Amino acid sequence: MFAVQTGQQLVYDAMDVEPGRFAAAVGEFRAGGGRGLNVTVPFKEQAWALAEQRSARAQRAGAVNTLVFDGDGPIFGDNTDGLGLVRDLTVNQGVMLEGRRVLLVGAGGAARGVLEPLLAQRPALLVIANRTPEKAVELARLFCDLGHVEGCGFPVLDGQRFDVVINATAAGLQGEVPPLPTDVAAADGWCYDMMYGSGPTAFVRWARQQGVAHAVDGLGMLVEQAAESFRIWRGVRPLSAPVIAALRAELAAAD
């Protein structure tokens, strides 16, 4: 859809790669004339390791979702996930992050990938909460030079209130929701799930049950990270809104 919109001639397809064959598959793709790849779970860390040059944000994220091949030159790796999240929140949803209290739930690769762009928005406080508190504390330590960021477990959140709560855990894969205290999200605040699906995700349903004013899934983030990858490859930024709308309609039809 981006290529049609911007008049670019290209082929973009999905490749299913066996675990353990990532580097080989990238090598074959490149040998066949491939110019760039989006990489998704569980290969983002391997893509980071394969990249010979990385953007600063990818370097810190420890994960790469965009690879660029330029002839025989070094493989370039970038990470557009965080920018995708921030763009969907701020541009598409109109959420102001500056000066806000933001809670990031989860401390795995998905959380780490979005921390730098989130902190660049200058929230008043960013708390990382995780089932395994040590991982959240460690992640906060790694990013503490970029803003006011703290790590903790879920019980510590009791009695705290946040303007924006972002779910970066894998709990939704099992249809589960992290055990957050009730009222952790302000009633007029936002709950954002980095996951998406054909219907409302478990976290979005939880947020609605809590009576939180705004509950959004991660479809917009998916499209925004892809738009930024497209810009890196092709030098032109496509419009994301019509693509989000088309995907949303497709998902609704499949539901």
Using CB under 6 A as the criterion, which residues of the chain lie in contact with ligand ATR when the complex forms?
Answer: 41, 106-111, 130-132, 135, 169-171, 176, 178
| Closest approach of ligand ATR to the CB of residue 4, in Å | 31
| CB neighbourhood size of 172 (10 A) | 22
Q: With respect to ligand ATR, which residue has the nearer C-beta, 175 or 242?
A: 175
Instruction: State the Cα–Cα distance between residues 40 and 161, nearest whole angstrom.
Output: 32
| Closest approach of ligand ATR to the CB of residue 170, in Å | 4
Query: What's 55's DSSP letter?
Result: -
Q: With respect to ligand ATR, which residue has the nearer C-beta, 97 or 111?
A: 111
| Nearest of 179, 20, 66, 45 to residue 112 by alpha carbon | 45
Catalytic annotation, residues: 44
| Closest approach of ligand ATR to the CB of residue 113, in Å | 8
Tell me the residue number closest to ligand ATR, measured at CB.
Answer: 108
Q: With respect to ligand ATR, which residue has the nearer C-beta, 110 or 115?
A: 110
| HEC per residue, 83-140 | HHHHHHHHHHCCCCCCCCEEEEECCCHHHHHHHHHHHHCCCCEEEEECCCHHHHHHHH
| Nearest of 31, 26, 32 to residue 47 by alpha carbon | 26
Tokens of 57: 């944000």
Q: With respect to ligand ATR, which residue has the nearer C-beta, 50 or 177?
A: 177
| Closest approach of ligand ATR to the CB of residue 150, in Å | 16
Instruction: State the Cα–Cα distance between residues 214 and 21, nearest whole angstrom.
Output: 41
